[in-house]
Structure 1
Amino acid sequence: MSKKVGGERLIIHGHLSTREVYEYRQEGWRLEWRDRPVKAQVNRNGIPKGLKGAV
């Protein structure tokens, strides 16, 4: 969640309950969704997939 105060952007992140989200939105906070970074897939030897011809 984020909120602009005096030209600064305040951010709250983490797990919030539905009630907490409701209360923050009543105070003017905006809800933002951020996807987790995609984890690189590796084969059983620990070598990243998709590196054809890199070796």
Structure 2
Amino acid sequence: MNVREMYNYGYKWTGMIPLTAEEARNLFLNDSIQIYRLYQDNTESSVESLEEISAPYLYGIEK
């Protein structure tokens, strides 16, 4: 996942590092980093449980 793909998806805040669902799951399970679900209307929400991480959404962590 890269920034260009994130922009094409519709999320454009440059303070976010984009992640795939698989990358987000791995970080959620192994680190104490806040994961965000990114939406195509340029908004995001905090992920609070592993069940919230699924395709077709993009995810991110703050830089």
Pick the TM interval, shorter chain: 0.3 to 0.5
TM-score (norm 1): 0.35
Q: Point out which structure has higher relative CO (alpha carbons under 8 A, 6+ apart).
A: 2
**Higher helix residue share:** 2
TM-score (norm 2): 0.32
**Higher strand residue share:** 2
